[in-house]
Amino acid sequence: MSSNNPSYVTAQGITGEICRIVESDLAIDTIESPRETQSAGILVLRGQLRRASAEVFPRWLRELTQRGYTPVLRNDPTGATADHVVLRIMKGVAPTSVQNPLINLLLFVLTVFSTLLIGSLNGPDPVMIDGREFIVGSFSDLLRLYLHQFASGGFLAGWPFATTLLSILLAHEFGHYFAARYHKVAVTLPYFIPLPLSFGTLGAFIRLKEPISDRRKLFDIGVAGPLAGLVLAVPLLFVGLRLSPIDIVPPGSGGFVEGNSLLYYFAKVWTFGQALPNPLTGEDVVMGQVNFAAWIGLLVTALNLLPVGQLDGGHTVFALFGEKARVINIATMIIMGALAIAGLFPMLGGVGFSGWFVWLGLILFLIGPFHPPALDDVTELDSRRRLIGYFVILAFIITFVPTPFRPI
C-alpha cells in the first residue's frame, strides 16, 4: 500500500531513518507517532536493549543530533524486564551559545579587587584615617573607607584572604570545567561574582552549553567541583587556624561569630586542644585572613552540596538515586525551613539562622527544588561512583553549618 500524501511519505522516511540508526542495539516492539510532538516527541519506540544503555546511547545521541533530533531514553514501566526501554525522539537540538572570555576575565579581575578589599578590612589592625580608627556609620562612610583603601594601597594587605579564597573557588570551578571537558560536554569558563561587601564575592559558576547525556557524566561533573575545592580548603583551614590566636570574646561586644560545622569544630579541637568557643572561659578563635577565607570556602562548598535542585549536591543525589532523590530534596527543604524558623527566636540560644529563608526562596523560585532527568536516564552509576557519591554526602554533612553566624 502506498500514499501520495507528502506528510505521510516524510513521516515514513523519518521513521525508517531513525529505526536504521537504533535497531542494531534495540529490539523494537512498537513504534508510535504522538499527536502532541512538542512534549511527547515525533516518535516513540518501545523495545528491549540488546546491549547496555551506556554503550549504545552515545552513538544514538551523536548520529541523531547530527540529523537534528534529540533522543530521550527512559525505563519502560510496562516492560517485562529492566532492559525494556522507551526511546523518545524529540525534534531539534539544544542551541549552543557563544562565550566572550573577556567578560570572564573582567569579572575575575573585579573579584580579585573586591576580595583584596574585604581581606584588608579583616586584618589584625584597624584602618586608620586622619590619625584615628575609622568607624563606619553610614553608606558614605563605607565609600570613604573603600576609596581610602584603594588610594593608599591598603587594599593590598588583603592578599592572604584573597589568594586563599580565590584558590578554593578556582579549584572548585575548574574541577567542574575539566570534568566537563573530559566528557566532551560544552561548558563556559567560570563566571566570578564580585561583591565589595561581606565575603568580597558571591562565588562563581560555570554554565553548561548543552544537556548532559547521562547520569554518570552528570555525577562526574557535579562532584568534581566540591572535591577539588575540598582538597585545597581543608589544609588551608588548618594553616589558617595555626596562624590565628585565641582570645576571650566578651559577651555583648557586638558583631558576629562564625558558626561551627563538624569539620571546623574538630579542626579547632585538634589545633587548640579544646572546644571553641569555650562556654566556660569565653575563649574563641580570633580569625585571621587565611582562616576566615578557608572557613568561607568550606561554607560555599557546603551550600553547593545542599542536596536540592541543580546544585552540586542535587546532581549527586539525583545521579545516585534517580527520582527517589525527591525524598531527600523535600527532607532538606524541611530541615532548612526548621532552621530558618528557629533563627527567629533568640531564646533558643543561637540555634538556627533566619538567612535560610533566603536560600529557601532561591531554591523554590530560582534554582528549583528537583533535578530534571538526563537524556539517558537508564544508565546508572557503577559501584566506584556510588562510593564516591556516599563520600560526597558525608562531606556535606561534616561541612554544613546549621548556624553560619550568631551575634556575640
> Rounded to two decimals, what is the model's pTM?
0.90
Per-residue pLDDT band for 5 (boundaries 50, 70, 90) equals very low
| Residue 145 is assigned to a structural domain of this protein | no
Lowest mean pLDDT among 157-166, 178-187, 192-201: 192-201
Range of 86's domain?
Answer: 6-91
pLDDT in tens, 69-122: 999 999 998 877 778 999 999 988 887 777 889 999 999 999 999 999 999 888
| Residue 242 is assigned to a structural domain of this protein | no
| Residue 46 is assigned to a structural domain of this protein | yes
Q: What nine digits make up the cell of 227?
A: 572535591
Residue 58 has pLDDT above 70, yes or no: yes
| Residue 53 is assigned to a structural domain of this protein | yes
Query: How confident is the model at residue 146, as a pLDDT?
Result: 84
**DSSP labels for 220-239?**
HHHHHHHHHHHHHHHHHHHH
Residue 232 has pLDDT above 60, yes or no: yes
Query: How confident is the model at residue 359, as a pLDDT?
Result: 93
| Residue 82 is assigned to a structural domain of this protein | yes
Query: How confident is the model at residue 298, as a pLDDT?
Result: 97
pLDDT, mean of residues 336-358: 89
- CA distances for 291 relative to 164, 241, 259, 295, 370, angstroms: 9, 6, 13, 6, 34
Assign 3-state DSSP to the chain and report helix, strand, coil percentages, each to 5. Answer: 55, 15, 35
Residue 9 has pLDDT above 60, yes or no: no
Looking at the DSSP bridge assignments, the partners of residue 28 are 47
Query: How confident is the model at residue 37, as a pLDDT?
Result: 65
Beta-carbon contacts of 376 under 8 Å, excluding residues fewer than 6 positions away, are 53, 54, 57, 61, 73, 213, 214, 215
- Domain count of the chain? 1
More confident residue, 13 or 163: 163
More confident residue, 391 or 29: 391
| Residue 60 is assigned to a structural domain of this protein | yes
| Residue 250 is assigned to a structural domain of this protein | no
| Residue 332 is assigned to a structural domain of this protein | no
Percent of residues, the chain, with pLDDT higher than 90:
65
Q: Phi and psi of 214, rounded to 5°?
A: -150, 170
Considering only CA atoms, which of 172, 166, 200 is closest in space to residue 304?
172
Q: Match 556535606 to its residue by C-alpha cell.
A: 396
Per-residue pLDDT band for 36 (boundaries 50, 70, 90) equals confident
